[in-house]
Each structure stands twice: as structure tokens, then as C-alpha cells.
Amino acid sequence: MAKRKSSEIVKDVLIGLYETADCTGSQYHQLGKTYPQILAIRAAKERERQMDAIRGMRRRKLIETRVTADGLEIALTSDGAMRAVREAVKGNRTKLPAGQSCMVLFDIPESANASRNAFRYFLKDAGFKMVQLSVWESPFDVFRDVLNFVTAAAIDKWVTVVDAQVRT
């Protein structure tokens, strides 16, 4: 192992303290706080942010929670599963190789108008373009994500997802 200069060690410690401490938060600038105390404060703040997020998701009925002997158990609701898939699709912008695309064909009845509109909104978010009214195409690798959304939304009997090879 290479020997490090004391100035490099001091620099690393200072950078670590700077990155760990929220420089805009007054609780970190109080005199007498040690590095472990700063880390403990930061961990407590992070746990509180996570609990706030869990409470918000529970309020919006995206998750269900229950306390067990092992701790807090969290499960996605069907709305939560659809939201999770929607967020995953937004982050997935991996393009398919040239000549390939993901195609979606659907015929959702008028009685399920809300589902049809939600599905069209999802397709737009996923980077699909409308080819015809109920035929959409995407150059992104979202095949599995679309299948997951279709299953979570319980519209699989009206929707077909195709991994297509374009030929000219």
C-alpha cells in the first residue's frame, strides 16, 4: 500500500465532512458536534424523509403497510404497481437496435374508457408514437415494462405487445 501524505489525509477528511454535512443546515454548524454525531444526525434526517415518503405513498394508496414482529412490511397496491412501472419506463431510454421496435396494439372497449385513456397516457410517457389510433410504436426497449403495466392495469385481454423487427 502506498504511503499517503498527512496533507492528503486531512484533505480527504475535510471533503468527507463537507459532503456529509448539509452546509445550509444550522444543526451541522453547532459547536461541539463530532463527526460521528454529524453522521447520526444525517442518518436520523434520512430515516425521517423515508418515513414521510412512506406516509405520503400510503395516503395516496400506492402502498399498504403493516407492522410485524420483524418490522414494517410494505406492499405495493395495484395503483402503486402501475405507478412504479410508469416511473421505470420514464427512466428506461435504452434504444433498441436499428430495425427493431416495440409495438402495442389494443382495442379497449368504450366501457373501460378510463383504462384506455390511462393506457394512452402511459404509452406517451414511455416514448411511444401513435401509428394509428390503437397502434403505437416505440424505439425503446420497454417490452417487459409495458407487459407489467398491462398486467397491473388488468387490460391484458385487450392489449397485444409485440417485439417487432422492421423490414423494408
Supply the angle between the helices 78-91 and 113-125 in degrees, to the nearest 10. 30
**88 and 161: one domain?**
yes
Q: Is residue 140 domain-resident?
A: yes
**107 and 148: one domain?**
yes
pTM for the model: 0.58
**108 and 160: one domain?**
yes
Q: Is residue 70 domain-resident?
A: no
Which pLDDT band holds residue 7 (cuts at 50, 70, 90)?
low
Closest to 143 measured CA to CA, from 102, 89, 105:
102
- On the question of pLDDT at 26 being above 60, the answer is no
C-alpha cell recorded at residue 71: 418490522
Give the three-state DSSP class for 132. Answer: strand
Mean pLDDT calculated for residue range 9-15: 67
Question: For position 106, what pLDDT does the model report?
Answer: 94
Q: Is residue 65 domain-resident?
A: no
Supply the angle between the helices 143-152 and 78-91 in degrees, to the nearest 10. 160
Number of domains into which the chain is organized? 2
For every residue of 9-56, DSSP letters joined together read HHHHHHHHHHHHS-TT-GGGSSTT--HHHHHHHHHHHHHHHHHHHHHH
pLDDT mean across residues, the chain = 81
Question: For position 5, what pLDDT does the model report?
Answer: 67
**89 and 17: one domain?**
no
In this predicted model, what pLDDT tens digit does every residue of 44-91 receive, in sequence order?
A: 998 898 888 888 888 888 888 888 888 878 888 878 877 777 777 777
**23 and 84: one domain?**
no
**41 and 105: one domain?**
no
- Taking CB atoms within 8 Å and a gap of at least 24, the contacts of 42-48 are none
**101 and 161: one domain?**
yes
Give the whole-angstrom CA distance, residue 95 versus residue 46.
Answer: 35
Enclosing domain of residue 84: 78-165
**82 and 150: one domain?**
yes
Find cell 390503437 and name the residue.
134
Instruction: Indicate which CATH number applies to the domain containing 121.
Output: 3.30.70
Give the whole-angstrom CA distance, residue 89 versus residue 129.
Answer: 15
Give the three-state DSSP class for 74. Answer: strand
In this predicted model, what pLDDT tens digit does every residue of 111-161 receive, in sequence order?
A: 988 888 888 988 988 889 999 989 999 998 888 888 888 888 889 899 999
C-alpha cell recorded at residue 36: 460521528
**90 and 132: one domain?**
yes
